[in-house]
């Protein structure tokens, strides 16, 4: 396979090999460097501007110091709740269909399209939700934001569910059927139940992914300076608030943006870590 190359001494070839191995190590170091830089700075900047008021107080107008992001926090949690309420059942159901119709034509089409949907820019999903849900009723709403995020969750959850159900041995499904279980009962109480830890992980990964989304919310939830938990009113969210504070010219707002970013990242990381923990605790030794 290296026939084109003139015969090199074995020592030169070994040296070259070692050099390339070293280069991949450098690549790994370089790739993790930004992470360290970003996390370090977030901790430094965010922690210094983070206080109790951040969680409990409302935003203050320009010029007044202090204030917090209580409304944005509540908004983010609410948007996650709406998106999960729609996205999880649909995504899990679609994933079960995909897993149970492995070779089917519709399943192949759905699988492919959900991967395609997964790769679409979130801003396009935002435009869609705006045109479909906001424009006809002429005002922004939490519901539209939640639906836009759900649209992003569905393909993610569907594919994760499918993968996890595939890990359940077919013999278990057969055992349940042979016991006189109807198919639906086999799927729900045996197969889905066995795959549940993995599916929970997939769901949490999807939640972590949408929790930090900003672009779709610009067109749907829009943001709100006031406290709101109404489904039909515009609602604030952490990423939206971070964005508008970051591009503002005010020092106080910048430090609030850092605090918000730290909280948002902590939220995302905690969800991701729980996701990992759930899988590890159940599939700890069965995974290969």
Tell me which of 47, 62, 81, 179 binds other proteins, using CB under 8 A: 179
Q: Are 269 and 35 in contact (CB under 8 A)?
A: no
Distance CA 129, CA 123 (A): 10
Site for other proteins in 21-40 (CB under 8 A): 21, 23-28, 30-32, 34-35, 37-38
Largest pairwise CA distance in the chain = 75
* φ, ψ for residue 222, nearest 5 deg: 70, -35
Site for other proteins in 197-236 (CB under 8 A): 208-209, 211-215, 218-219
Part in contact with other proteins (CB under 8 A); list of ranges 56-64, 65-73, 94-102, 226-234: 94-102
Q: Minimal CA–CA distance to 209: which of 269, 164, 263? A: 269
Distance CA 241, CA 237 (A): 6
Rounded least distance, CB 73 to other proteins, Å? 15
**Does residue 9 bind other proteins (CB under 8 A)?**
no
**Does residue 120 bind other proteins (CB under 8 A)?**
yes
**Does residue 285 bind other proteins (CB under 8 A)?**
no
Residues 6+ apart with CB under 8 A from 84: 150, 153, 203, 207
**Does residue 176 bind other proteins (CB under 8 A)?**
yes
Q: If DSSP codes are grouped into helix, strand and coil, which group holds residue 214?
A: coil
Contacts 24+ apart (CB under 8 A), 281-288: 281/197, 282/197, 282/198, 283/167, 283/197, 283/198
**Does residue 52 bind other proteins (CB under 8 A)?**
no
Rounded least distance, CB 227 to other proteins, Å? 21
Tell me which of 53, 172, 200, 231 binds other proteins, using CB under 8 A: 172
Number of residues that bind other proteins (CB under 8 A): 105
Site for other proteins in 134-153 (CB under 8 A): 135, 151
**Does residue 154 bind other proteins (CB under 8 A)?**
yes
**Does residue 2 bind other proteins (CB under 8 A)?**
yes
**Does residue 77 bind other proteins (CB under 8 A)?**
no
Question: Residue 58 carries which DSSP code?
Answer: P
**Does residue 175 bind other proteins (CB under 8 A)?**
yes
Tell me which of 49, 57, 128, 166 binds other proteins, using CB under 8 A: 128
Question: Residue 151 carries which DSSP code?
Answer: H
Tell me which of 71, 84, 141, 187 binds other proteins, using CB under 8 A: 187
Q: Are 242 and 254 in contact (CB under 8 A)?
A: no
**Does residue 261 bind other proteins (CB under 8 A)?**
yes
Distance CA 173, CA 250 (A): 61
Q: Which is nearer to other proteins, 73 or 218 (CB)?
A: 218
* Residues belonging to the chain: 288
Rounded least distance, CB 249 to other proteins, Å? 12
């Amino acid at each position: 396979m290296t026939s084109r190359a003139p015969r090199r001494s074995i020592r030169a070839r070994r040296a070259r090999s070692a050099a390339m191995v070293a280069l991949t190590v450098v690549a790994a170091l370089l790739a993790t460097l930004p992470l360290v830089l970003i996390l370090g700075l977030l901790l430094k900047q965010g922690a210094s501007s983070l206080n109790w008021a951040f969680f409990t107080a409302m935003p203050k107008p320009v010029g007044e110091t202090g204030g917090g992001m209580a409304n944005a926090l509540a908004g983010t949690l609410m948007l996650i709740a709406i998106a999960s309420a729609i996205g999880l059942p649909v995504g899990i159901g679609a994933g079960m269909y995909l897993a149970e119709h492995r070779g089917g034509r519709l399943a192949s089409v759905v699988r492919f399209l959900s991967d395609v949907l997964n790769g679409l820019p979130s801003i396009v999903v935002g435009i869609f939700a705006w045109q479909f849900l906001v424009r006809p009723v002429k005002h922004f709403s939490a519901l539209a934001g939640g639906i836009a995020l759900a649209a992003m969750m569905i393909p993610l959850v569907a594919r994760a569910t499918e993968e996890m159900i595939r890990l359940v041995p077919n013999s278990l499904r057969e055992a349940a059927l042979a016991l006189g279980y109807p198919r639906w009962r086999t799927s729900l109480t045996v197969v889905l139940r066995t795959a549940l830890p993995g599916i929970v992980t997939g769901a949490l990964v999807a939640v972590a992914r949408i929790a930090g989304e900003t672009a779709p919310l610009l067109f749907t939830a829009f943001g709100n300076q006031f406290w709101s938990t109404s489904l039909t009113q515009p609602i604030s969210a952490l990423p939206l608030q971070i964005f508008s504070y970051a591009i503002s010219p005010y020092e106080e707002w910048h430090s609030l943006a850092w605090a918000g970013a730290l909280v948002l990242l902590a939220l995302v990381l905690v969800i991701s870590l729980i996701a990992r923990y759930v899988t590890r605790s159940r599939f700890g030794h069965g995974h290969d």
